[in-house]
Amino acid sequence: MLEVDSLYVAYGPVTALRGVSIKVEKGSFVGVVGPNGAGKSTLLNTIAGVVKPKSGSVTLAGSKLSGARAEHIVGKHLSLVPEGRRIFGQMTVLENLQLGTTVRKDREQARTHITEMMEVFPILGRFRDRRAGHLSGGEQQQLAIARALLARPEYLLLDEPSAGLAPVIVDSVFEVLKRLHNEGVSILLVEQVAHRTVETADHSYVLQHGNIVARGTASELLQGGLLEAAYLGADGAAPEPEGAGQA
């Protein structure tokens, strides 16, 4: 199990996370939704070792991850697909995929796995020798997910994979995530597409101003407008983001 316990994170005087606790059981699909500036990206980056917490802990199967370097965490079978995809635009699709295998020692099997990824995501096989920067946004998102999967993660963390994509491409991204989940990959998905995320995930958390303000299954969160109340606030207006640009 991936467990975050009482996590506090600050950027100078701005507190981004205030005692956040979440759990991702092995084999589960967990969503985290909330408005801009809620702390969603900070949460994922802290789990992945990119950001160091002020206090609290992150553990995976009982092993402490908080404070560890990002490359050590990847070696623990946890991969992050960051916001904005962050593929290497001047490199080819194939070269980007090869970067995803750098933490692996089974080089021959890694090459086979790259071929398998190009079968799972046919567009990557078709454009394997094309510069990644020339791909469309949806194609780049598929590349980012495939690259993360090549590290053979047991837990896949995704930071707003639907951002900037057309609705039909968002549909395909969610279909890919559901297929990966059905194949046994544990998923922690951070999104602003609240209803779609809550309906897809086994369990979701609503993050607002660095605090978890609601949690539950789709039926629990959607029944009686609980999601809207938690997401928008009691007055029905979206809350002002705190520390915007940091999370």
Q: What average pLDDT does this structure show over 15-44? A: 94
21 falls within a domain: yes
**Pick the residue with more confidence: 160 or 153?**
160
DSSP tag of 92: B
101 falls within a domain: no
pLDDT at position 76: 67
Closest listed residue to residue 153, CA positions, set 65, 79, 85, 82: 79
User: 26 pLDDT exceeds 90?
Assistant: yes
pLDDT at position 72: 67
Count of CA atoms in the C-beta half-sphere (13 A) of 90: 0
239 falls within a domain: no
User: 85 pLDDT exceeds 80?
Assistant: no
Asked if residue 201 lies in contact with residue 189, where contact means CB atoms within 8 angstroms, the answer is: yes
User: 77 pLDDT exceeds 80?
Assistant: no
User: 14 pLDDT exceeds 70?
Assistant: yes
**Pick the residue with more confidence: 123 or 238?**
123
pLDDT at position 92: 96
201 falls within a domain: yes
135 falls within a domain: no
Domains in the chain, number: 1
Confidence of residue 241 (pLDDT cuts 50, 70, 90): very low
Asked if residue 80 lies in contact with residue 48, where contact means CB atoms within 8 angstroms, the answer is: yes
Confidence of residue 236 (pLDDT cuts 50, 70, 90): very low
- Secondary structure tally for the chain: helices H, strands E: 10, 10
CB neighbour list of residue 8: distance below 8 Å, 6 or more residues apart: 15, 17, 18, 19, 53, 54, 55, 56
Q: What average pLDDT does this structure show over 200-226? A: 90
pLDDT at position 229: 75
Which residue range forms the structural domain that includes residue 175? 2-86+152-215+225-232
Token look-up 């969160």 returns 221
138 falls within a domain: no
142 falls within a domain: no
pTM: 0.81
167 falls within a domain: yes
Confidence of residue 171 (pLDDT cuts 50, 70, 90): confident
**Pick the residue with more confidence: 211 or 65?**
211
User: 105 pLDDT exceeds 60?
Assistant: yes
Confidence of residue 240 (pLDDT cuts 50, 70, 90): very low
Cβ neighbours, 10 Å, residue 184:
9
Confidence of residue 237 (pLDDT cuts 50, 70, 90): very low
Q: What is the CATH number of the domain that holds 190?
A: 3.40.50.300
CB neighbour list of residue 168: distance below 8 Å, 6 or more residues apart: none
